[in-house]
Amino acid sequence: MLRGQDETDGVDSQGRVVKVPLIKGDWKTQMNYPVRDCVIYAYCAPEHVASEMDRLVAIHAEHVAKAVPSDVQAAWLHHRFTQIHPFQDGNGRVARAIASFVLVKDGLFPLVVTRNDKTNYLDALEAADLGSLKPLIEMIARLQIVQFRKATAISEQSLAQDYVEAILDGLHKAADKIGTEKLKSLQGVFTLAGNIQEDVDTRLPAHRAGRHVGFAEDHEYRNHYR
């Protein structure tokens, strides 16, 4: 998750924001104090991170054993992880990935927080800091509904496209069948027309030679090709 990031923000001894090398794959070694709306948030001290993370995993295992609903598990795990803030940077990304893991494992959608959701997302985390996990649970449930509707729309679009293609294929096959049957029915007409043409070509020279076709012969000819 931090592959493309080598630095993060830090504060020097004079209180200035500076860029510092980013530690990857290990717990933080210094306190981190994120600031939002002029409010400083202090998290778990570096020396307690390992034990707090072990406790986090143990409690989550208890939730799984008790079959706690997935959205509640995801909300609790996400919030508790951000309270510990075990890494130097990227804690929000990891927290959403952990919550997504819980949801996907139970057949739901990943936790996707867009820019439009950011304000409500942070407000829900602050409410959890104050002891109410409900807003975060409700937000996760709402985002699941959003993802479900998107997936349903895509499925319906795909089904509609398949349906139209099936209809067109059926029409093509029907047109081919009708064309073949029509051609067979017309073949008899073509054959009859050819016979008439041959008969006419045979009789006309007889008239030109002066031979008179009798009434009986003429009557038989008319009945044959009526």
Q: d(Cα 49, Cα 109) in Å, to the nearest integer?
A: 29
pLDDT digits (tens, 9 = 90+) for 105-140: 999 999 999 999 999 999 999 999 999 999 999 999
- pTM (2 decimals)? 0.65
Q: What percent of the chain has pLDDT over 90?
A: 46
Q: Between these two residues, 168 and 16, which has the higher pLDDT value?
A: 16
Distance CA 199, CA 179 (A): 30
Better-predicted residue by pLDDT, 167 or 149? 149
- Mean pLDDT (whole number) for 188-211: 60
Question: Which helix H or strand E contains 20, and what residues bound it?
Answer: strand 17-21
Lowest pLDDT segment from 4-18, 71-85, 115-129, 146-160 = 146-160
Residues 6+ apart with CB under 8 A from 51: none
Q: Which range, 1-10, 119-128, 156-165, is most confident? A: 119-128
